């Protein structure tokens, strides 16, 4: 028996027994249509997403601690996802002992369980992911924009606006597993996507495990997030884009041999770059290009450990050395890689 532990301050545990997932079970409450009124998903139930399910503007979805949400298979425009549209709210608040779990229908996990009895951390892309959209500013050529992963024919995929304090709800003590369904050539859904999410939103104690694309990607906005864990991502651990201007604190990224960057930090795509803060981070696993600062990225980063760094032209990063020592012994730039890009 193999077991693995996910350290999420406090602990979530997942484990595996069999290398191959079983066929989907026909159990759970099937969700087939968008949510247009206040709705609650209960702790003693399993909910199965049949395609892309959107919480529409004006509605709020409450998810109780211990609730399990499973995504069905699908790709392209039919990829399974839970979307919180602009003007809608999510109230998903688990606990350390009863996290809310998003996973695939091939996962045999049932309410009351935390560990998967059959899926490993290497099984990716079995469903889509979670997408939260808001009305906060983004740095792009136009605003609002259509979020990646949602066809342009769906108006609920728009994000961005002028309200820095926009509130999309609460998303805390949540585990997102085995996502990243393919939506196009070389393009998959992130485990957790935040598009134009405002500072009135609370994101806390979230883990993303075995996602085929990025673990967490944030497009603009000003939402603050703390106590994050990303493990075994297929692409980047945490990816910041379009002038994200919030604070991320207490985060861990554990890469595998085929993961890409632990961090990919981009600046704005419009007339301003934004400015972010990342505090108390730990990066483990893949030791190549752990941090990739590029495209006008501007911010402050504090990471414990000894990791390689790449930087593209236009980068404006201040390394916080408070906990690392003034000589940057534990955090260094690989100037040899970066020199040709300045």
Which residues make beta-bridge pairs with 7? 11
User: For residues 7 and 102, which has the higher predicted lDDT (pLDDT)?
Assistant: 102
User: For residues 254 and 47, which has the higher predicted lDDT (pLDDT)?
Assistant: 47
> Which residues 6+ apart lie within 8 Å of 55 measured at CB?
34, 35, 39, 61, 82, 83, 84, 85, 88, 89, 90
Say if strands 89-93 and 145-146 run parallel, antiparallel, or are unpaired.
Answer: unpaired
Selection from 136, 305, 306, 124 nearest residue 215 by Cα: 124
* Cα-Cα-Cα-Cα dihedral sign, residues 284, 249, 212, 6: positive
User: For residues 69 and 122, which has the higher predicted lDDT (pLDDT)?
Assistant: 69
pLDDT of the residue at 162: 97
pLDDT of the residue at 309: 67
pLDDT of the residue at 288: 54
Report d(CA 254, CA 52) in Å as an integer.
29
* Residue carrying the six token digits 């595996």: 16
pTM of the model: 0.87
| Domain, as residue range, for 282 | 2-341
pLDDT of the residue at 12: 37
pLDDT of the residue at 314: 72
User: For residues 301 and 14, which has the higher predicted lDDT (pLDDT)?
Assistant: 301
pLDDT of the residue at 187: 66
Q: What is the mean pLDDT of residues 265-282?
A: 87
Selection from 235, 134, 255 nearest residue 188 by Cα: 235
pLDDT of the residue at 77: 75
Which residues make beta-bridge pairs with 90? 61, 169
Are 318 and 299 spatial neighbours (Cβ–Cβ below 8 Å)? yes
pLDDT, tens digit, 9 for 90 and up, residues 176-204: 999 998 876 556 789 999 999 999 999 99
Strand intervals (E) in 42-155: 46-49, 52-55, 60-63, 68-71, 81-84, 89-93, 100-104, 129-133, 145-146
pLDDT of the residue at 271: 87
User: For residues 289 and 82, which has the higher predicted lDDT (pLDDT)?
Assistant: 82
Q: What is the mean pLDDT of residues 242-263?
A: 89
pLDDT of 163 strictly over 80:
yes
pLDDT of the residue at 168: 98
pLDDT of 3 strictly over 50:
no
Classified as helix, coil or strand, 156 is helix
Query: Token digits for 297?
Result: 């990225």
Are 72 and 50 spatial neighbours (Cβ–Cβ below 8 Å)? yes
pLDDT of the residue at 252: 86
pLDDT, tens digit, 9 for 90 and up, residues 34-56: 999 999 999 999 999 999 999 99
pLDDT of the residue at 286: 59
Report d(CA 128, CA 193) in Å as an integer.
11
Report d(CA 211, CA 124) in Å as an integer.
5
pLDDT of the residue at 2: 34
Position 24 confidence tier, pLDDT thresholds 50, 70, 90: very low
Domain count, the chain: 1
> Which residues 6+ apart lie within 8 Å of 191 measured at CB?
129, 130, 176, 179, 180, 208, 209, 211, 213, 214, 215, 216, 230, 233
- As a whole-number percent, the residues of the chain with pLDDT over 70 amount to 80
pLDDT of the residue at 205: 95
Task: Report the chain's mean pLDDT, rounded to a whole number.
Answer: 83
pLDDT of 210 strictly over 50:
yes
Q: What is the mean pLDDT of residues 148-154?
A: 85
pLDDT of the residue at 306: 53
pLDDT of the residue at 22: 44
Give the C-alpha distances (Å, rounded to integers) separating 77 from 74, 128, 145, 249: 8, 11, 17, 34
Report d(CA 119, CA 125) in Å as an integer.
12
pLDDT, tens digit, 9 for 90 and up, residues 276-333: 999 888 887 755 557 888 878 888 888 775 556 666 767 777 665 444 333 333 333 3
* Cα-Cα-Cα-Cα dihedral sign, residues 316, 226, 13, 219: negative
pLDDT of the residue at 75: 77
Q: What is the mean pLDDT of residues 250-263?
A: 86
Query: Token digits for 311?
Result: 């930087």
Q: Supply the DSSP symbol for 305.
A: S
């Amino acid at each position: 028996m193999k077991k693995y532990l996910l350290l999420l301050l406090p602990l979530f545990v997942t484990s595996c027994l069999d290398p191959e997932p079983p066929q989907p079970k026909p159990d759970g409450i099937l969700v087939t249509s968008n949510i247009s009124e206040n709705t609650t998903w209960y702790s003693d139930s399993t909910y199965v997403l049949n395609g892309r399910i959107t919480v529409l503007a004006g509605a709020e979805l409450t998810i109780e601690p211990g609730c399990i949400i499973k995504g069905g298979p699908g790709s392209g425009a039919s990829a399974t996802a839970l979307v919180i549209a602009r003007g809608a709210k999510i109230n998903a608040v688990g606990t350390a002992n009863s996290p809310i779990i998003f996973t695939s229908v091939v996962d045999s996990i049932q309410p009351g369980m935390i560990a998967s009895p059959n899926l490993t951390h290497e099984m990716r892309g079995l469903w889509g992911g979670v997408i939260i959209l808001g009305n906060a500013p983004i740095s792009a050529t136009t605003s609002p924009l259509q979020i990646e992963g949602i066809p342009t024919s769906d108006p609920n995929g728009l994000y961005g606006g002028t309200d820095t304090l926009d509130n999309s709800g609460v998303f805390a003590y949540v585990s997102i597993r085995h996502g990243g369904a393919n939506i196009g050539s070389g393009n998959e859904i992130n485990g957790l996507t935040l598009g134009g999410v405002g500072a009135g939103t609370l994101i806390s104690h979230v883990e993303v495990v075995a996602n085929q694309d990025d673990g967490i990607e944030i497009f603009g906005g000003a939402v603050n997030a703390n106590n994050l864990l990303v493990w075994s991502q297929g692409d980047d651990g945490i990816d910041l884009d379009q002038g994200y201007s919030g604070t991320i604190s207490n985060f861990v990224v554990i890469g595998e041999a085929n993961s890409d960057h632990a961090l990919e930090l981009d600046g704005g795509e419009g007339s301003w770059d934004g400015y972010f803060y990342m505090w108390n981070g730990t990066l483990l696993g893949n030791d190549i290009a752990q941090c990739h600062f590029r495209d006008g990225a501007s911010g402050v980063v504090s990471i414990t450990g000894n990791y390689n760094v790449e930087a593209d032209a236009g980068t404006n990063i201040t390394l916080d050395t408070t906990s690392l020592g003034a000589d940057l012994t534990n955090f260094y730039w690989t100037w040899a890689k970066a020199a040709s890009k300045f």
